[in-house]
Structures are given as C-alpha cells and as structure tokens.
Structure 1
Amino acid sequence: MSKNRSLASVKMVRLIEKLAPSEGYTQSALDSVRLMRSDRPLGRTPVLYEPSIVIVCQGRKLGFLGNDVYIYDAQHYLVLSVPLPFSTETQASREEPMLAVSIRLDLLELSDLITQIGAFGRLPDAAPNGIVSTPLDDPLADATVRLLEALTVPMDAHILGPGLVREICYRVLAGAQGGALCAALGHHGRFGRVAKALKRIHADYASPLNVPRLAEEAGMSVPAFHANFRAVTQTSPIQYIKSTRLHHARLMMIRDGLTAAAAAGRVGYESTSQFSREFKRLFGRTPVEEARDMRESFSLSPAVHFGT
C-alpha cells in the first residue's frame, strides 16, 4: 500500500467512526450514501445488495455468489451493477470494527457518465459483469476521503456531496473493471434484458409475478430467459423472486418491527406458514430468531447531526 493510500485509509476510518457510531447501517446526509459498521465477526449471511459501490475502509468482507468469491477490504472495493441476492462473511472485532461506505448507483447519472467516457474512446470492449471486486487505487481513495469529510459538514454535504458521488462513480467506471461495468450498466444485449427483468422484479416483488410474462417482456423464450437469468444471477427466476421477497420481509421485521405475519402479507405471501418455511430454508432460522439476532447488524440509524 502506498503512503498516500495508507494516510487515506487512516482518514477514512476516523471519519466513518464519527459518521457511524452504532452497529448496522447509518444513513448519511445524502440519500444515496450509507455507512456500514460491524463490531463483531459474522459468518455466512444471506444479503440482498442493490446496485451500488461498497468501499470497505477497515475489516474485511467476503461475498459468495455461486462458485465465485469476492473480497472487499481496505485494498479492494465491490461494485454491483444489478441487484443481487448472495451471501457475505464479515471479519471484524470490537477493537477493529468493519467500517464501510455504500453508494447507491443512480442509473441515469451513470448513463450520462458512460456517454461522456465513451466520447473519449475510453470504453474497452468487455463482457458485462453484474458484480466485480477491484483493487482500490489512490484517486478513488482520495475521492472517498473527500466525500466522507463533506458528510461531516451539513452545508458541504448538500453542496459538494453530489459532485463527489459523481466523481467516485467516474473513477469506478474509468478504472480497471470499467469496461465490464459499462457494458452491464448500458443494458445492452441479453444481459440488459435480464437487468430490466430484475428491475421489474424489485419494483413489483409484492405483486404476482409470472415467469413466462417476464420472459415475454424480455423478448426471450422461457428456456432462453431461464438460461440467461441464471448466467447473471446464479439462480432461477422463481428462486430470485422468492429470495427478494424474503429479504425485504426480513428488513421489515428488523427495521419496522413488523410481525412475521404482517411482513409476509406485505411482500406478497398469502400463507404465513409457507412464508415461515421458506424463510427458515433461506436464512437457517425462524423469522423471530432471525429478526432478534440480526437487529443490530441490519438496523438503519438516522444520519448523525453535526453543527454547521
């Protein structure tokens, strides 16, 4: 690690400790930016990430999707161009908590950036990829420090924050995996058709979703849709829909205090007993046990208020 990177890491840790004093997720002054903190190790845990950039400043996380393992730590960041359910492992301790910043991707903003980067001939041909882990370089680390600094000053967060988020997105798209990400975010070809189906699923997960109808909307036969869907998500459309509903229900129980029956109805289940069976199959515990034990890890705290 370079001297500049080492100094940036120290600054990032200090700033996130200030911005996220509690475990779980903490909202920042910007709607698209959240801080993540864990004061203890967590074994393999099913998660659902929306399209985002996750920069870990201390500690380590491992992401597991199919047979692939993605490392994101002080030397690597994670990018997801489509919403994906996968599982993570967190390496942390009270003495050295896992500290990270998560930036939700704005697809309209990214489309503008991709167009501008392409105008300079900086978009290499690459196969689209829905999830990548990439080494963190000095320019991206520096931009992250400046974003975190801005978030500690309300006026700076409001005026400078959006531009700093845009710079971070630019650094990612212009980086080593930029070609694969641009191809994915551009929603071209079969990957793009699946990406649009994923967007539809996340918008309407509580409604009845018919796989043949999703395939028709994607302009594919049902077998082709299944094959391409699995290539992007490592799972079938039915399992993806089910997982999305269960993840949202878990968050409703953890963050909103809903009962299992209320959460089940909110995400589209007609049978509470079926919901409980499928929940335990995915998370390994009953809804009550999971909500109780994961409340700290998945809670969402409001933004910390700083003086002007």
Structure 2
Amino acid sequence: MTVDHGNEDHAQQRRMVELLEALAPTEGYTLTALPQVRVLRSDRPLARTPVLYDPGIVIVCQGVKRGYFGGQMYLYDEQHYLAVSVPVPFTMETDATPQRPLLAIYLHLDFALATELALALDAAGVADQPAPESMVSSRMDPALRTTVLRFLEAMQQPVEAAILGPGLVRELYFRVLSGPQGATLRAALAMRGHFGRIGRALRRIHADYALPLDLAELAGEAGMSVPTFHVHFKAVTRTTPIQYLKSTRLHQARLLMVRQGVSAEAAGYAVGYASPSQFNREFKRLFGLTPAGEARRMRQSFSLPPAFPGSGYVSSH
C-alpha cells in the first residue's frame, strides 16, 4: 500500500492553521502559557520594514515572510523556517490577507537549552564544521512539521501546555539543530573564534547603546585590533560597527515611542542623541518617515509585542 505524502502534508498544514487560529483569534502577538513562545497573526500585508530580531526561531504555518539581509533574501513561509543566532538589523516584508492571514510561532532563543542540545549533538559524532551564520532559512522537514503539530495540539489545553509544552519546545529545538542547517546554527551557538568575539561586542552595544561607545572600545570588548574587528563585525552583521550602533539606538527609540508613548525628542535623548535634528535626520534615513510619522504607522500596521522577559537585546519582535 502506498502512502500519499502530499495529502498527508496538506492535512497536517490545515490542522496547524486551525490550531494557530484558535491560539491567535485576533491580529497581533498573543502570549502563550510558555514565556518564551508567542504566536503572531497578521491580516494584512506589510511592505519592507526595518526590523531587529531577538535571537530565536520563527515557524510560519500560513502566509509568507521575506527577510533581506546582506544582499540575500531569506524566505520563511509554510515550507521554510527562519533561525536567528545573533541580533542583526534587516528589512522584512509580509504577504497576508484577512481571508488568509499570516500565522506564525515565535520562539525566543533559550541559549542554555540550545547550547545543551548543540553540545549533545556534536558529542554524538556529527562531523560537519561549517562557518557560523547570523541567520538561516531552512526547509521544514516532515519530522519538524510533525513536532510543530504536536506542540500546537498541546498548547490548546492549559494542563498539557504546562506539562508537555517544555518537552515539546525541547523537541522543536532538537529538530532545528539537527536539521538541514543545524550544524551552521550549532557553530553559531558555540560562539567560538571571531564569531564569539563579535557576539561579545554585540552584547555590549545592546547593553550600553545610550553611552558614547567608540570603535576602539568595541574592538577592545572583542579582543581585536580596530581593523580586524571592523572586518569580522561586517562579516557577521553585514554592516559596520558604527552603523549597527546607530541602528540599535534608532530601533530602541522607535520602541520607546510606540510602546511607551514618549515624544520623539525624549526618545532621541534616551538612546544617546544630544541633537534632536541629528536624531530626526538619521531616523528618517533608516525608516523613511519622521519619528512621529513612523510611530503612527507602526501603531496602525505593525504589532509590537512586549519585550521578552530577561532579554539582553533591543528587539522589535
């Protein structure tokens, strides 16, 4: 007897959509019983928008997202998931309609869990040693799809979510870290060599973005000379250290205006700008609108969740 895997995949897909619609009945981000997991529903398309993602995994069950980073397009849709190992600024667009909304699962990266599993997989004899990558888009395989479905089933019931949820999150991590680009992600999580040193500088930027950080100070954080630091920083983030610092400040200013309702002038001062005119100029260069105009657009068309508890990074997701 032959099994029609196409029909089976289609049935799984329909069931995942049903379950996510139940978890996210309205637009925006919905918190779940697990603090590191959120679900997103978007009923409208979103034109290219600058974003700064927390490290994590995005699994889209309906709709399409495209990320543009360093001259490459990263697709995450019903057939592909996105994994981000360090916070990098990029631009993102969404395909969605009220009849066919975007439905996605966001897993904020649990570094302790991911590192534990990565070490276990490496100890099991996985030989691949690829270069680490900041971001990967990878095809959903049947094993991951089945785990996602079991996870969504468990999330429908509070008791199952509380008791089975953490184990299923662990299984999701295992599927991703042992999947097609798992070795690349494991290399990134190991934070060895130049990638790890740049990771230390990124943490410093996100912790102290409002301070007058300079290139020499950031290079010292990474234990590199300034020219070496500049080269390796750009290899990881696809931008320069100073541009990354500016982007982090401007993303944080946007978050302050949208989440807390602060004025553009107050947001600029809060993230380290002494000159309101310079802040307005650089903000418009990044986002394409004035601070007030962008804050208004974000409130109308882009759902911002509360920050993940304990996250050390500025993030618009």
Which among 280, 290, 298 is matched to residue 303 of structure 2? Answer: 298
Instruction: Name the TM-score, length of structure 2 as normaliser.
Output: 0.90
Q: More displaced, 245-254 or 125-134?
A: 245-254
Residue 27 to residue 271, structure 1, CA distance change in 2 (3 Å): farther
Q: 2:107 matched to 1:87?
A: no
Whether the aligned pair in 1 keeps the contact of 2:200 and 2:221 (CA below 8 Å) is no
Residue 279 (1) aligns with residue 283 (2): yes
1:58 aligns with 2:62: yes
- 2:206 corresponds in structure 1 to 202
- Matched residues in 2 for 1:34 and 1:262: separation? 30
Distance 1:7 1:236, change over 3 A: same
User: Is 1:44 aligned to residue 38 of structure 2?
Assistant: no
Counterpart-to-counterpart distance in 2, 1:2 and 1:203: 47
Query: Whole-Å Cα distance in 2 between the matches of residues 123 and 11 of structure 1?
Result: 36
Shift of 1:294: 1.6
Q: 1:206 to 1:164 in 2, by over 3 A?
A: farther
Q: What RMSD in Å do the two structures reach over aligned CA positions?
A: 1.7
Identity of aligned residues (%): 54
2:164 counterpart of 1:160: yes
Which is further off, 113-122 or 6-15?
6-15
Counterpart residue number, 2:252:
248
User: Per the alignment, in what secondary structure is the counterpart of residue 298 of structure 1?
Assistant: coil
CA-to-aligned-CA distance 1:241-296 (integer Å, 9 cap, x gap): 11111112212222222221232233222333222211111000011111111214
Where 2:197 maps in the other structure, the secondary structure is helix
Q: Which moved more, 1:122-131 or 1:146-155?
A: 146-155
Quick one: distance in 2 between partners of 1:273 and 1:110? 43
The change in CA–CA distance for 1:149 and 1:203 in structure 2 (over 3 A counts) is: farther
Instruction: Output the CA distance in 1 between the equivalents of 2:252 and 2:9.
Output: 37
| Counterpart residue number, 1:305 | none
Deviates more, 1:177-186 or 1:207-216: 207-216
Task: Give, in angstroms, the shift of residue 232 of structure 1.
Answer: 0.8
Q: Is 1:124–1:179's contact at 8 Å kept on the other side of the alignment?
A: yes
What displacement does 1:123 show?
4.7
> Which amino acid letter does the alignment assign opposite residue 204 of structure 2?
R
Give the C-alpha shift of residue 299 in structure 1.
3.1
CA distance in 2: counterparts of 1:60 and 1:282, whole angstroms = 24
Contact map agreement 1:54 1:79 (CA 8 A) in 2: yes
Number of residues of Structure 1 aligned to a counterpart in Structure 2: 302
Structure 1: runs of 5+ lacking an equivalent: 303-308
Q: Which amino acid aligns with 2:83?
A: V
Asked if 2 retains the 8 angstrom alpha-carbon contact of 1:82 and 1:130, the reply is yes
1:301: how far off? 7.7
Which of 207-216 and 262-271 deviates more? 262-271
Q: Partner residue of 1:107?
A: 111
- Contact 1:27 1:301 survives alignment (8 Å): no
- 2: CA distance between counterparts of 1:257 and 1:153? 35
Q: Deviations over 1:8-46 (max 9, x none)?
A: 221221122222223232222221111122211111110
Q: CA separation in 1, counterparts of 2:13 and 2:60? A: 10
Question: Deviations 1:66-114 (Å, cap 9, x if unpaired)?
Answer: 2111111000001111111100111111111111111011112111111
Letter aligned with residue 134 of structure 1: S
- Report the CA distance shift for 1:192/1:4 in structure 2 as closer, same or farther (over 3 A): farther
1:230 pairs with 2:230: no
